[in-house]
Chain A
Amino acid sequence: MSTIDRAKLLDIYTRTMKVNRTDEKFRSLLMQGKVAVMYYCVRGQELVSAAAMAALTDDDYVVCTYRGQGEQTAKGIPPELWWAECLGKVTGTCKGKGGTMHITYPEKGIMVTTGVVGSGLPIATGLAMASQNNGDGKVTLVSFGDGAANIGGFHEAMNMAQLYKLPVVFLCQNNRYGEHTAFADHTSSESISARAAGYGMRGVLVDGNDVNAVYPAVQEAVDRARAGEGPTLVEAMCYRMMGHFFGADFSYMPKEHLAEMQREDPLPKLRQVMLDHQFSEEELDAIVADIDAEIDGAVAAALAADLPGPEELAIDVFETPLVEAR
């Protein structure tokens, strides 16, 4: 049985299914040719994002990556704004100027979605530095993949965060691939979390497919950060069940390993946890049905929305609009 209370479990389940249904819908639209944009699939990683976001308040900051749908959805970006942005519409969070790889929504703390692997970590230290400077009590969580752990910025950010005891949580979603390269082929250490020791930082390794592992670990890291005890590197082992981006070949992912990982699928496991806690099948299905209806509405609105006009090219480059986009 879980140590997580029923209300929080329901919260995490709802967030997880929002992430999953959004992912399913996106893939279905791409398959049907109804939309043609870059999309980085999160199948297999839904629970990590949802449980992590459930450990934060609305005001806490999040920095995520191009594979950030999970954090964005679970942190609470309204679906109609999210979908419109992904379809490049003027009604999107970023007026269609960010797109799937650059979603921002400060209202829910989504400060940066970066398309550059590993570059979110230094920025997260800065958000946390601001919180430490002005004592606002906010925690910053930065989500990244295993591939990001090998760029220089990772090491610089880890060292700096621990040096200043910044209120930041480094959440590595180890999905076993950095683009097309398997974990063992791109990382010299056995785990990412073990590297925390090199910075004198607390490192935690958890099963990213188990809600009872992910949520308490992230919550503890958040609580410690908020209490001024400094950063934690949480590594959640999960699996990217598809290619690097939707439509990309993933024949390099061994079939046997994929089959093995599919047996570890976090979703049936989470459902079982819910059933164990006396949530009924009907209750759980009804939550998904509501989510599907909301997503369908958001997609329809996004498809019907206007495209941004060319005048947008001169706006938001600088604070003062450019007279002439030279």
Chain B
Amino acid sequence: MAEITLAQALNKAIDEAMAEDAGVFCLGEDVSAKQGGGVFKITSGLTEKYGEHRVRATPISETAIVGAAVGAALAGQRPIAEIMLMNFVGVCMDQIVNHAAKLRFMSGGQTNVPLVIRTTTGVGVGFGGQHSDMLEAWFAHVAGIHVVTPSNAADARGLMRAAIDCNDPVIFIENILCYGLKAEDPGPGYRVPLGKAAVAREGSDISLITYGRTVLDALAVADELAKEGISVEVIDLRTIAPYDEATVLASVRKTGLAITLHEAVRPFGTGAELAANIQEKCWDSLKGPVRRIGGTFSPVPFATVLEQAWIPNKGQIIGQIKAALGKG
């Protein structure tokens, strides 16, 4: 089988969905062929196939982009809106939180909002404070939205198809540093169900629960610690909210120890919710407190040295694991 990058996987998933359903369309800044198919080329080649109505390049108007996606979704279409960088979602939060998330509920189920909001972010590319935040907790805190992020190319293809199929709004977070990751192409029609986590690596001593780019760090750490006889189980949530509670709790009940790991800042992050829930429901199985690893509580800095100090690193993860196991 051929290999594809995560970026190509997303493009293939969208292309395939557009070919199958005339109601699927893309909109966002710079997305059409005239502008080169998106800043990160995710929509490259689609205008040529589907025309400019189905790959709409928009003005820099985040509120109108998401608002239009909400309206089109209410009318039965399946818009895929691109908010170029996650930090810009602040501009359109009203449309996401008050409208996309709530219209199904407030209408008593008469209408639904099957839209996907694709957005990109990531620490480690030197974009500084206004282009790098992981803001998944903002959305996880609002009832009615699915929050999804892939950590590998195959999942990216499958999760994107599932997100487009979904009859609820989905925030789809793409980490810029992951776009080049390669995997075997799972092929057309591949879907990864929303709300289903992956046991990315089985282990017996401790559960490391994470998602997105930090899954790579978690797997690397697990490899390294295996050499020392420490068996780390890595859970890739894939869907951050609503998350796969059963898989998380089963893992923790097996290992008796848990660490949550994410790129977003630690205070009030999704790791806090995971930790609290694990503590409530797995108290009898826990051998120690649930630990949390997250980004530094400061804006993401520009200077490479500061940026690398900001993001959770493998050394920190190893340190926390060893401390949890009493081997620190």
Contact = CB atoms under 8 A, between A and B. Distances in A.
A68 to B, nearest CB: 13
A140 B242 CA distance: 34
Interface string A150-192: 0011001101100110000000000000000000000000000
A130 B71 contact: yes
B58 interface: yes
A133 B59 contact: no
Majority secondary structure, B binding face = mixed
B59 A119 contact: no
A92 to B, nearest CB: 7
Nearest to A159: B59
Interface string B23-46: 101010000000000000000000
Contacts of B156: none
Interface stretch (B100-108, B178-186, B216-224, B282-290): B100-108
B110 A93 contact: yes
B53 A132 contact: yes
Interface residues of B, number: 46
Interface in B100-139: 103-112
Contacts, number: 156
Nearest to B77: A130
Given A133-B25, A164-B56, A111 B108 contact: no
Interface residues of A, number: 48
A160 B61 contact: yes
B72 A122 contact: no
Contacts of B103: 104, 112
A224 to B, nearest CB: 20
Contact of A153 (B63, B109, B112): B63
Contacts of B53: 132-133
A99 to B, nearest CB: 8
Nearest to B66: A122
A134 B77 contact: yes
B309 interface: no
Contacts of A119: 67, 94-95, 98-99
Contacts of B69: 126
Contacts of A111: 71, 74-75, 111
Interface in B132-180: 143-144, 146, 166-168
Contact of B64 (A95, A115, A157): A157
Interface string B47-67: 000000110101101011011
Most chain B beta-carbon contacts within 10 A, residue among A123, A134, A316? A123
Nearest to B76: A130
B309 to A, nearest CB: 35
B122 to A, nearest CB: 27
Contacts of B76: 130
Contacts of B74: 111-112, 123, 126-127, 130
A130 B72 CA distance: 5
Contact of B67 (A92, A125, A315, A322): A125
Contacts of A316: 104-105, 107-109
B64 A129 contact: no
Contact of A126 (B68, B94, B146): B68
A76 interface: no
A127 B72 contact: yes
B22 interface: yes
Contact of B112 (A112, A315, A319): A319
A232 interface: no
Contacts of B311: none
B63 A122 contact: yes
A57 to B, nearest CB: 15
Contacts of A317: 104-105, 143-144
Interface of B: 22-23, 25, 27, 53-54, 56, 58-59, 61, 63-64, 66-77, 79, 94-95, 98-99, 103-112, 143-144, 146, 166-168, 242
Closest 3 CB pairs of A and B: A122-B67, A126-B71, A130-B75
17 contacts: A93-B110, A97-B108, A122-B71, A122-B95, A123-B74, A125-B64, A126-B68, A126-B70, A126-B73, A126-B74, A126-B79, A127-B75, A129-B68, A159-B61, A316-B104, A316-B108, A318-B168
